[in-house]
Amino acid sequence: MRAVTAPSPGGPDVLEVGEFAVPKVESGEILIKVEAAGVNRPDCLQRAGNYPPPPGAGPILGLEVAGEVVHTGGAATRFAVGDKVMALVVAGGYAEYVAVPETTALPIPDGLSMEEAAGIPETYFTVWSNVFDRGGLRAGETFLVHGGTSGIGTTAIQLAKAFGATVITTAGSDEKCAACLELGADRAINYQKEDFVAAIKDFAPGGVHLTLDMVGGDYVVKNWKVAAVEGRIVQIATLNGPSEANFSLLMMKRLVHTGSTLRAREVPFKAEIARKLEDEVFPLFADGRTRVVMDRTFPLGEAAEAHRRMEGSSHIGKIVLVP
């Protein structure tokens, strides 16, 4: 099969398409013929040498796929050959075939294309786990997500709104802010033009109950400044690097600042998120309260171009590779 790796750390040009053996299917796994694979910021970090895969994951990039089941291993009983599925994977998504634990795969909701389905697992698993499970977002609360037009951002806006929150987001252009408002955000702040701390304090004087942040750096203290007393902040990345934060503000407001990564978590943990998505989120696809916001698709052989678009931050929604 054809697959994409980064033999040495570097920019997008280090990505190579090579020939690899089709993965062997272990007990409890299914083999998927990949029809679309999502591109995510962690893929770019891995390519650059800043996000090594867990031990045993293999060198092929890619964290989410959609396609057709072509083989099932022993103890895999839910899906049959020919079923259309999407799946969260530890690695191996940028390929023509990938083997995954059956419990981390899901049927594709009615009406979604393969490209749209490939944009669901990494973002929806991450948002559900961090916003609702870890962050405990409740109806009536004020929710802030940075990077509103990223895959995470577009997903978080829609789900938070669907479950009754007031949603604030930041983005880097008027066009992106307009897209966030169209998705349901109550306030979208162009951080290139506005001080988002001042804008949020004006819009939500009582403060933000929950913030989902992937920026880090100086955003850490800014998130604390706009937080409500006893607010929560969930950190899922630090794209702007480490923070030198004064903890006095965290203590005075009695804040909870937590964080997580998903990739290295155990299969049963991911399987539990999959079940919650099927129960709680799939009905939202059916009635139109959430959708996959698509930016562009690229052939598998143009993975480098897909990474350039991701790192250029001009995209709105998901970038997807098609083998």
pLDDT of residue 150: 96
Nearest Cα to Cα of residue 42 among 214, 210, 296? 214
Confidence bin at 145 (pLDDT 50/70/90): very high
Confidence bin at 78 (pLDDT 50/70/90): very high
**What average pLDDT does the segment 38-43 reach?**
97
What per-residue string of b and e applies to 7-19 under the rule 16 or more CB within 10 Å gives b? eeeeebebbebee
Looking at residue 320, its amino acid is V
- CATH architecture classification, 124-259: 3-Layer(aba) Sandwich (3.40)
Q: Give tens-digit pLDDT for 129-141.
A: 999 999 999 999 9
pLDDT of residue 72: 97
Nearest Cα to Cα of residue 308 among 322, 316, 293, 319? 319
The model scores a pTM over 0.85: yes
Measured distance CA(90)–CA(92) in Å, rounded: 7
Q: Give tens-digit pLDDT for 244-286.
A: 899 999 999 999 999 999 999 999 999 999 999 999 999 999 9
| Beta carbons of 184 and 165 less than 8 angstroms apart | no
Cβ neighbours of residue 300 under 8 Å, at least 6 residues apart?
A: 2, 4, 17, 37, 94, 95, 96, 321, 322, 323
Do the domains spanning 2-120+293-322 and 124-259 agree at the CATH topology level? no
Confidence bin at 111 (pLDDT 50/70/90): very high
What are the φ and ψ backbone dihedral angles of 256, each rounded to 5 degrees? -115, 115
Cβ neighbours of residue 264 under 8 Å, at least 6 residues apart?
A: 54, 90
* 82 SS3 class: coil
pLDDT of residue 227: 98
| Beta carbons of 106 and 32 less than 8 angstroms apart | no
Nearest Cα to Cα of residue 172 among 292, 314, 40? 314
| Beta carbons of 170 and 143 less than 8 angstroms apart | no
Cβ neighbours of residue 271 under 8 Å, at least 6 residues apart?
A: 101, 103, 104
| Beta carbons of 28 and 75 less than 8 angstroms apart | yes
Confidence bin at 83 (pLDDT 50/70/90): very high
Average pLDDT, the chain: 97
Domain parsing of the chain, residue ranges: 2-120+293-322, 124-259
**What average pLDDT does the segment 226-235 reach?**
98
pLDDT of residue 250: 96
pLDDT of residue 42: 95
Confidence bin at 4 (pLDDT 50/70/90): very high
Helix (H), strand (E) at residue 211 = strand 208-213
What are the φ and ψ backbone dihedral angles of 222, each rounded to 5 degrees? -60, -40
pLDDT of residue 151: 96
Residue with tokens 């294309």: 113
Give the class (CATH, top level) of 2-120+293-322.
alpha beta
Cβ neighbours of residue 94 under 8 Å, at least 6 residues apart?
A: 3, 4, 37, 43, 60, 61, 62, 300, 303, 321
Tokens of 16: 């190579």
